[in-house]
Each structure stands twice: as C-alpha cells, then as structure tokens.
Structure 1
Amino acid sequence: MNRASYDVLLRVPGIGYKSAGRIVKARRFGSLGFEDLRKMGVVLKRALYFITCSGKMMYKTKIEEDYITRNLLNTKERLPDSVAGMNYQQLSLFDDVNFTGNQIVTMV
C-alpha cells in the first residue's frame, strides 16, 4: 500500500479515485496503516484481500478463492458443491503455454 502507484491503487476493489489520490498524498508524510485507510474512505471489506500495509495483511485471512469469493459477494449461502472444490484460472489473451515473443503483432 505504501509503494503502489496511483494506477495500481485504482485497480484494487474498494479504492476509488478519491481514496487513491488521498493515499498518494498522505504517503508523503509517512507510512499508512489500515486505520489510516479506513479514515480516508477505503472500503476495507473489499480491499483487505488485495492489500498489505508494512508487509502485513489486516487479518490472518485464508487465501482460498471460494472463501474470498463468498466474502466479496457477501453471500451467506454456500457455493454449490459442483463449484466449491474447483480451481479456477485467470483467463488470458494469449495461450501462455504456446506463446513466444515472435508472435507479438504490432498495430499501425
């Protein structure tokens, strides 16, 4: 949190453009903690899975996709059993396995 650029801060759920600007300005005076972020208007309920302050997470949180998904969506019911045990992978524009640097296409 104390080293991320303005653009990176905007990509974190729970941090809007106003909060990101406040964070960047406040870092000039010292490192920020979670209580400082809360006072600036950061929605820590969503942001806590994606940020650290001074190398530490806000809570000892399970880094499991199902757990985080349930908490971000604020669902009280369990995910269906057919979905709960599955592992997901971020989709990519490129086939990571077969991608080589020679395949980059430049547009004019």
Structure 2
Amino acid sequence: MRDGRFAPVRTPFDLPPEEGEAVEIAEGVLWMRLPLPSPLEHVNVFALDEGQGWTLVDTGLSTGRSRGIWAALLAGPLGGRPVERVILTHHHPDHVGLAGW
C-alpha cells in the first residue's frame, strides 16, 4: 500500500487458467480456477502430482457447473489419473463444497 492506495496484485503469470484448464506453476503443481456466484468470481484450487494419482488442494463450491469443470479437468489436464487425497485449506463452502463428491 502506498499513500493509502492498494497496489495491484502481481503474479508471475500473465493470465489465469481458463475454465477447465490448468497452469503448471511448479513441477508437478497445477493451478486451476472454479467459478463463484459472487463478486470474487472464482476460487483457486490446485492439484499436486503424486505419480499414480493426484492430491487436490481445495475443491470449489458444490454446484453442477463446478462438477462439470472438475470432470473436464480430471479427464483432460489431470490425465484420467485418480484423486488419492484432498487437502482443505479452510472450512468455507467455496473450498470444501465438493470434498464429498
């Protein structure tokens, strides 16, 4: 913050991942986004390559749209490999919503 104003958030990536796509942010770490019906508009979720499968970090809000995006991610960028575990960063619906799914 300078002079009482917030500076824009900067990341090392020009663009965030598109819906149903993943960006590798480090070796074996994929960044994905899921939509939210709020001004925030999205939640960031991650997949960690465990060799035979994946560890997911957060799951997104439990909606049909999010389930459809996950299905596309699992078949596409995640290569059809199984989810072996899920890590939840905190207990908000946009992070835990699809954990049981």
Pairwise same-fold verdict (TM > 0.5): no
Larger Rg: 1
Taking structure 1 as the reference length, what is the TM-score of the superposition? Answer: 0.23
Taking structure 2 as the reference length, what is the TM-score of the superposition? Answer: 0.23
**The structure with more strand, counted as a fraction of residues:** 2
**The structure with more helix, counted as a fraction of residues:** 1
